[in-house]
Amino acid sequence: MTKSEIIDILSRKQSHLSGRDVELSVKILLEQMSDTLSSGSRIEIRGFGSFSLHYRAARRGRNPKTGETVDLSPKYVPHFKPGKALRDRVDASKETFPITEQ
């Protein structure tokens, strides 16, 4: 499932809103989530999960093509921890639905 498929489904279910408003809403929502993480804050959505940043220390890496060593500076990476409801619902479906569209 993609962002545009979600927008289509929500537009159908929220027929009193224009398709454009639904599309903008989803884009604004994801933009707000990205802004939050890139300013060092967390996201917590009950029943879904939480997003936070994990620290990666500086390390000496290698350019896989040239073999040259490169010094990589410390950085943060986004991390998602599924909430209990999502974990349980996904796990409960493992016998019923094969994994598709990965």
Footprint of other proteins on this chain (CB under 8 A)?
1-3, 6, 9-10, 13-14, 16-17, 21-22, 24-26, 28-30, 32-34, 36-49, 51-53, 55, 75-80, 82, 85-87, 89-94, 97-102
| Collapsed DSSP state (helix, strand, coil) of residue 30 | helix
Minimal distance in Å, beta carbon 102 to other proteins?
A: 5
Closer to other proteins by Cβ: residue 30 or 69: 30
C-alpha torsion sign, points 13, 14, 20, 25? negative
Residue with tokens 């943060």: 76
Rounded to a whole number of angstroms, the minimum distance from the CB of residue 86 to other proteins is 6
Nearer to other proteins by Cβ, of 67 and 95: the residue is: 95
Amino acid at residue number 71: D
Q: Which is nearer to other proteins, 2 or 67 (CB)?
A: 2
* CB of 56 or CB of 62, closer to other proteins: 56
- Residues 6 or more apart from 70 whose CB is under 8 A from it? 60, 61, 62, 63
Q: Report CA torsion sign: 71, 72, 73, 74.
A: negative
